[in-house]
Structure 1
Amino acid sequence: MTRRHGRITAGRAVCTVLTAFGVLAGAALTGAAQAAAAAAGTTIAAGVTYRQFDLSAVKGTTHVHLVSVDLANPHVRVDLLYPGKIAARSPVSALADSAGAVAGVNGDFFNIDEAQHPDVEATGASVGPVIAQGRPLKAAVPRGQRFGPALPPGTTTEEVFGVGTDRRARLDRLRLAGSVRTPDGRLPLGGLNQYALPVNSVGAFTAQWGSASRLRATCGTDTDRAAACSKDTYEVTVRGGRVASVSATPGRGTVAAGTTVLVGREAGAQQLRKLSVGERVAVQKWLAATGSKTPYRFALGGVPVLRAGRPVAGLDGATAAVRTAVGIADGGRRLLLLAVDGAPAYRGGLTVAEVADELRALGSVDAFGLDGGGSTTLVTRAPGAHAVTVRNHPSGGAERPVPNGIGVFTAS
């Protein structure tokens, strides 16, 4: 169980610049009035505040950074930060500045390396589903292909944090639905812009994927990420509703707008081999929510840690680390973006169970864990500034490029 330490620091009381990172560190404040001002935080923009404070945790004192977002304010919104392609990465500060965000944090866990497949490049693509500006960009990889700590019992890679068209945040699951209509009938669609496809399936890659090789999608199995790449694969390029080309192996390179590349493995590959150049093919794809009936404007993957005011069963209460999370309060009208500082003095961090406890103590009813460690980054833009500042100390000494994040935007 975490508790706030006596020393609290406010974003406006910054005294030290660490030039190695361009990160600001706050000085201690004393006195009831200063403590109250720190608790209220610094106003970044109307409806958006930032503050930082110490916590006493199981591994000692740690330091956290918190952005509060008022979605009830009609001038405030959140959306996906990403480099424009799924299989690409960029630092959170660059993503926020290019999108015009006033604040943001890193997002989902991702395909960071391929130590088990030395001949295959890591794609950098995230694990879970993604929706940006109301458009579905990708679906979830199989559970056994996930990067990151173990999922709590009863959760899946389809878990998302999202904000609906009603401007309310919620936790949900997004399941890929769709099919490939061929002259011989319909094939179920097993993947959308994913770095790993289910065994025996057919996946679709669109212009949103990027230029990374699609070979990685046929490596590993549903239960073992390290398993060998499939030797039974096939690729079909569909353009203008017809088969434009076929290949015995998955390729690489940017997928042109209006084009869909179908990649099959095992039974899926056998089905794709029945198609010939010139034949008509129609691909339907969407992400179906299992909870809310309200369409999502934005969603990204991660791990639920708090539901309906209760920590999710099976949370790790022993392993402390630098972490990122988002809490949902006030009926989905208020967000709390939390990042643990990675400075050596605080690197003991928080356990996942402590993250859930702290976000509940801050008023969250639901909460969602995001990628941590070297990925943890929280940025805000000072009033009047043209660029964001990294507020935490990245534990790797500099920002790690990441595939996506949560961006906070305000109307000018």
Structure 2
Amino acid sequence: MRPPQLVRRPLALLLSLALATLVVPAGAAWAATPTGAATPTSTADGLVHYTGGELVAPGVTYLSFELDTPRGPAVGHVVTADLRQRKVVLDLLHPDAVAQRQVISTMTDEQGAVAGVNGDFFNISETHEGVEPTGSAVGPEIAGGEDLKAAVPNAQRFGPGLPAGTSTRDVFGVGINGSARVTSLTLRGEVRSRSGAVIPLRGLNQYALPVDGVGLFDSDWGSASRIRATCGSDTSRNDPCTDHTYEVTVHDGVVTSISRTPGSGAIPADTVVLVGREGGADQLDDLLPGDRVNVRRQALVTDDKPALTFAVGGFPILRSGQPLAGLDNSVAAVRTAAGTSADGRTVYLVALDGRSSVSTGLTVSELATLLRSFGADAAVNLDGGGSSTLAARHPGATTATVRNSPSGGVERAVANGIGVFIGRD
């Protein structure tokens, strides 16, 4: 299947054009004139139609588009954020707890963002009897420089198959230098007992732990049951839950309670809960109430520099301006994506309309090509289907409006999203 014909010029240039509907010959070269008109200097078969361009806020623009594909038109929406402007920043949209969901428009407004899109895939359904889905995300989360959660094992994720060379640890984020990039995050942390035993942490507020692992849950997790963390395996999300488990509650560095079964309920700010499965359960079994332990500060560490102040999980589809090898080009679906320019200073947030008689989806391969056409050098695929949502304020408005048409006609509550903020400290 051939990829769609696309305009291969930075979208930032197109966003400076007039707000009137544009019918743009695909492959055309563009030049902005003082009047804001668009003048194609060459043509090609196939059309990309751009409509409804708006200045959401200084440095933040919105545009809708219609893309011709072999299956029919794909209607989409893109917010572009210029991080070169000091007051334009990205951060995580998230509910009050990791194990909780909320719709994007509400998170956008409650957190004061001017625009937002849905983020990572999440624990949306369960095959384990008696186990409720947690609603928590697959990959890592960093919000405002705070590490909220780490990644589940690859086999425990939801969403399309991962491209070769990618993992659940991959994220789209922004560094302390203010530049966006696609990178990976690895959890570092350990528990030391008074006897000198060292137990590595292999989980942080995540709905699935690796076999033989120990995970830490704190107040960011919320009140959801922690038993899901001991279900599935490193090879299959649907493998049975293990009954070889152990849970230890630590308050101010002292073990206060133990249990053979993971529990539920809110965790106080001065308390952490350690959950172990298989070999990890055996390690925790040596701890008893009254024992002093040192839970060394867990941290999500990048594979490169600098450290991130914001991160959301998503699998890479574009690197160094090129789509990853082996991306699926057969299954068209409603998609959401995030991309960044090579210098990390321009960010593109894209969401498609729900599938209907007037809009079809895109394959992952087509999505990568689309992001590249906007000017992205690196990009990730985010949760799609009924989760795909893009909200942005109209000029002068104080609340955001959902700009795409979500599948089913209503927003789906999701685990997290990417928010665009103005002047956030």
TM-score by length of 1: 0.91
Which of 123, 146, 155 is residue 111 of structure 1 equivalent to? 123
Corresponding residue number in structure 1 for 2:164: 153
Which of 245, 251, 256 is residue 268 of structure 2 equivalent to? 256
1:335 aligns with 2:347: yes
Contact 2:246 2:277 in 1 (8 A): yes
Which of 68, 85, 92 is residue 56 of structure 1 equivalent to? 68
Contact 1:321 1:347 in 2 (8 A): no
Q: Give secondary structure in 1 for the equivalent of 2:301.
A: strand
| Aligned-residue offset at 1:329 | 0.9
Which one-letter code corresponds to 1:290 in the other structure? D
Aligned pairs (5 A) from 1:90-169: 90-114=102-126, 116-169=127-180
Aligned pairs (5 A) from 1:275-294: 275-284=287-296, 285-291=298-304, 293-294=305-306
Q: Give secondary structure in 1 for the equivalent of 2:381.
A: strand
Corresponding residue number in structure 2 for 1:76: 88
Contact 1:241 1:280 in 2 (8 A): yes
Which one-letter code corresponds to 2:111 in the other structure? A
Which one-letter code corresponds to 1:117 in the other structure? H
Q: Give secondary structure in 2 for the equivalent of 1:41.
A: strand
Partners in 2 of 1:221 and 1:35 — Cα distance?
57
| Aligned-residue offset at 1:40 | 9.2
Q: Please list every run of at least 4 consecutive aligned residues from structure 1 whose deviation after the TM superposition is greater than 3 angstroms.
A: 27-40
1:87 aligns with 2:99: yes
Partners in 1 of 2:114 and 2:179 — Cα distance?
19
| Aligned-residue offset at 1:34 | 8.4
Aligned pairs (5 A) from 1:305-320: 305-320=317-332
Identity %: 53
Which of 195, 200, 209 is residue 221 of structure 2 equivalent to? 209
Contact 1:29 1:35 in 2 (8 A): no
Contact 1:58 1:350 in 2 (8 A): no
Q: 1:198 to 1:35 in 2, by over 3 A?
A: farther
Q: 1:362-412: per-residue Cα shift (whole Å, max 9, x none)? A: 111111110000000000011221210000000122000001000000128
Q: 1:225 to 1:310 in 2, by over 3 A?
A: same
Contact 1:131 1:299 in 2 (8 A): yes
Partners in 2 of 1:283 and 1:245 — Cα distance?
16
Corresponding residue number in structure 1 for 2:47: none
Which one-letter code corresponds to 1:310 in the other structure? Q
Gaps of 5+ in 1: 15-26
Partners in 2 of 1:315 and 1:290 — Cα distance?
23
Q: Give secondary structure in 2 for the equivalent of 1:44.
A: strand
Partners in 1 of 2:200 and 2:358 — Cα distance?
48
Which of 387, 404, 407 is residue 416 of structure 2 equivalent to? 404
Contact 1:55 1:63 in 2 (8 A): yes
Q: Give secondary structure in 2 for the equivalent of 1:345.
A: coil
Which one-letter code corresponds to 1:298 in the other structure? F
Which one-letter code corresponds to 2:366 in the other structure? E
| Aligned-residue offset at 1:219 | 0.3
| RMSD of aligned alpha carbons | 2.3
Corresponding residue number in structure 1 for 2:333: 321
| Aligned-residue offset at 1:318 | 0.8
| Aligned-residue offset at 1:41 | 2.6
Corresponding residue number in structure 1 for 2:377: 365
Partners in 2 of 1:330 and 1:387 — Cα distance?
31
Partners in 2 of 1:345 and 1:122 — Cα distance?
32
Partners in 1 of 2:234 and 2:184 — Cα distance?
19
Q: 1:177-208: per-residue Cα shift (whole Å, max 9, x none)? A: 11111123111111000000001111000000
Contact 2:225 2:265 in 1 (8 A): yes
Relative to structure 2, which stretch is displaced further, 281-290 or 368-377?
281-290
Which of 284, 287, 300 is residue 272 of structure 1 equivalent to? 284
Q: 1:342-379: per-residue Cα shift (whole Å, max 9, x none)? A: 15134421000001001111111111110000000000
Which one-letter code corresponds to 1:124 in the other structure? G
Q: Give secondary structure in 1 for the equivalent of 2:391.
A: strand
Partners in 1 of 2:120 and 2:18 — Cα distance?
31
**Equivalent residue pairs, number:** 395
Gaps of 5+ in 2: 8-13, 25-32, 40-49
Contact 2:342 2:378 in 1 (8 A): no
| Aligned-residue offset at 1:231 | 0.8
TM-score by length of 2: 0.89
Partners in 2 of 1:188 and 1:156 — Cα distance?
21
Q: Give secondary structure in 1 for the equivalent of 2:409.
A: coil
Contact 1:108 1:405 in 2 (8 A): yes
